[in-house]
Structure 1
Amino acid sequence: MSSETLDLARDIISNYSGRTLKIMEVCGTHTHQIFKYGIRKLLSSDISLISGPGCPVCVTPTGFIDEAVMLALEKNATIATFGDLVRVPGSEQSLALARSKGAKINIVYSPLDAVEYAKNNPDEEVVFLAVGFETTTPSAALAVKNAKEKGISNFSILGANKTMMNAYRMLKDSADAFLYPGHVCAITGLKEYDELKDEGIYGVVTGFTPKEILGALAMTVKKLEKGEAFEENCYKRVVTYEGSPSALKLIEETFDSCDSEWRGLGIIKDSGLCLKKKYSDFDARKKFNLPEITGHPNPHCRCGEVLQGKCTPKDCKVFGKGCTPEHPIGACMVSGEGACSAFYKYGGDF
């Protein structure tokens, strides 16, 4: 983006005057970048920028943490997980607390690390906590296929993989337009978003640099001013119309669509991914015969409303008091992509 174009984008978002526009940045990385570079301070008072459910750790429900704790403490499984999930509160305890009671919790950087660990430790039942959107789902699929091909029977996944399309539909009335996450769109492509546009759901795909976000915001404002249906790609160096055929094929070969629970949004139809029947031996819920668990989040936590754009973290009474990064009450304060952690880290009157 040239300096002239950047100046024009700043001018558009700073000097807009008209009906209040609600734009939801779905991705947690966008939320943090917007705070870090002071983009909110550039916005006209008639533009409302709200955070949405784009942090996979944040939208993972309390019951999932309860399942993982049960696997660790009652089923004697070794839990392999990305770091953020360890401190997310369950109904009664986190994985961090379970670890202090003797549970074996291993931090991994990829699902394939968990498969390799299972291979090298055949006497342990290793369960990988598969959390994420379309961006990380292919790696979980690859891990399962890898384990099956190599006959690694002591590996399984506790699945909470989700897809974004029906979440946009549920949030249709929460915003006038969305900033679509570039990394998700790099996998799915823009093809799916044609349907959303036809349904009156609009948005702009953007990358993660300040210039890219400013450009996408300016594009969104101009399109909303015109009152026309739109979907735009401001991340063309990465995102194509077709997406990643190989990644999509991997997901399709390994998973089926299913209903899924989202923190704050409830059950969203066909927004989850469950292992196909031929991979059912790698489904931890079936392997360990887990009971159905309904989680109970802390009643003082408003993460669910934050994820729907109904309030900001600062509207929550425990924000920055009882709930801090050192002592989180909700998932949105734990995750490095969470809206609460962004508000806490960067502060300011937003």
Structure 2
Amino acid sequence: METTKLPSAMDIIKKYDGPAIRIMEVCGTHTHEIFRLGIRQILPPQIELISGPGCPVCVTPVGYIDEAVYLALQCGVTICTFGDLVRVPGSAASLAVARSRGARIQVVYSPMDAYDYAATHRDEQVVFLSVGFETTTPASCLAVKKAVRQGLDNFSILTANKTMPQAYEVLKGSADAFLYPGHVQAVMGTAICEKLLKDGISGVVAGFTAKELMTALAVIMVKFSQGKPFFKNCYPRVVTPQGSRTGQAVMEQVMRPCASEWRGLGEIPASGLALRPAYNAYDARLKYTVPEMHGHGNPACRCGDVLQGKCRPSDCPVFAKGCSPEHPVGACMVSHEGACSAYYLYGGMLHE
């Protein structure tokens, strides 16, 4: 009996002759992987990939860096942070500059590393810079819970945790379809994607391998050509409809929604997470009476426009002209998930 061979993702992509599609890579890791794997080079000309706000370091506002520098220099605390944040420019100084002025800046790889540092350096006040989306927030919550259990009173966190659903709403209309981040949806499930579908917002959840990314892009091409809003989970081996109940529960227990400022997007209601009152003793802003700070970045930097999909990194006047990973003007050039750093590292592939 003869069987019909279904077209592969590569076949669909190479033979696509449908309407133009703007696809937003919400996740910075997707941006880097699509570049690194050479996927952009095989896409038909009517497919445009644009970057979005899915890099937590990139969307962290300048004022947050100013708060961290204040804690390090004025309050004398030890800052524990992921490495990407060290070189992000603040209004007047980065954490790297603060370190050159004598501040204690400790690079860690997880919130629990910061907890362990505090536990073994009881003579130091330690603040962990809690930056991230739903993927990493549960780990910050667990570190705070452990500090409470152990009575570790020299540990606190400076929150800049954010949640993606509200950002999707703000970005409605900026792209024809979202490439949803697989790691965020692994924690939160697909309910938000289904809700956005009812609002006419299309997208697919994508993994991070070449096959998973190609499949997701091919699905978008097929579904978009049908002329109706769509959603598809193309990462079912990791993402389930319900997500991680454990991760959701610990976030709900330790943190509460709050308004949050996003670089480029402004303040978005209920898009941030702050510690609940029961954990006020571990809130660095309260513990050290940090003054309210409204940072200001370099006006020539267009990171904010890049994060909204309004321009490509190469459209920025300082891109590769004074702004590089070694000497960043904006956060998007610093982070290993940043769109500007991806274009800087791999952008030449677009012209090969």
TM-score normalised to structure 1 length? 0.97
CA distance in 2, matches of 1:192, 1:327: 38
Map Cα deviations across residues 44-86 of structure 1 (whole Å, 9 max, x no partner): 1111111111110001010000000000000101000000000
CA RMSD, 1 decimal: 1.1
Equivalent residue runs for 1:25-104 within 5 Å: 25-104=25-104
Percent identity over the alignment is: 61
Matched, 1:275 2:275: yes
* Structure 2 equivalent of residue 255 of structure 1: 255
SS at match of 2:71: helix
SS at match of 1:180: strand
Equivalent residue runs for 1:1-350 within 5 Å: 8-348=8-348, 349=350
- Output the amino acid matched with 1:312: R
- Return the offset for 1:231: 1.4
SS at match of 1:187: helix
CA distance in 2, matches of 1:174, 1:10: 26
CA distance in 2, matches of 1:347, 1:230: 31
CA distance in 1, matches of 2:290, 2:167: 27
Of 286-295 and 192-201, deviating more is: 192-201
- Return the offset for 1:114: 1.1
Runs of 4+ in 1 over 6 A off after TM superposition: none
Contact 2:19–2:225 (CA under 8 A) maintained in structure 1: no
CA distance in 2, matches of 1:288, 1:269: 25
Of 333-342 and 38-47, deviating more is: 38-47
CA distance in 2, matches of 1:236, 1:53: 23
Map Cα deviations across residues 106-147 of structure 1 (whole Å, 9 max, x no partner): 011111111111122222110000000000000000001010
CA distance in 2, matches of 1:110, 1:325: 23
- Output the amino acid matched with 2:141: A
CA distance in 1, matches of 2:257, 2:295: 22
- Output the amino acid matched with 1:310: K
SS at match of 2:79: strand
- Return the offset for 1:269: 1.1
- Return the offset for 1:225: 0.9
- Return the offset for 1:8: 2.6
- Return the offset for 1:38: 1.2
CA distance in 1, matches of 2:280, 2:36: 43
Pairs aligned (count): 346
Of 10-19 and 337-346, deviating more is: 10-19
Map Cα deviations across residues 246-287 of structure 1 (whole Å, 9 max, x no partner): 110000000000110000000111110000010011110111
- Return the offset for 1:9: 1.5
- Output the amino acid matched with 1:295: G
- Return the offset for 1:12: 2.1
- Output the amino acid matched with 2:126: V
Map Cα deviations across residues 210-261 of structure 1 (whole Å, 9 max, x no partner): 1100000010111111122321111111000010001100000000001100
Map Cα deviations across residues 13-39 of structure 1 (whole Å, 9 max, x no partner): 233234321110111110001001111
CA distance in 1, matches of 2:21, 2:194: 22
- Return the offset for 1:198: 0.7
CA distance in 1, matches of 2:17, 2:268: 36
Give unpaired runs (5+ residues) of structure 1: none
Map Cα deviations across residues 84-112 of structure 1 (whole Å, 9 max, x no partner): 00000001110000000000000111111
SS at match of 1:185: helix
SS at match of 1:11: helix
CA distance in 2, matches of 1:85, 1:216: 31
Give unpaired runs (5+ residues) of structure 2: none
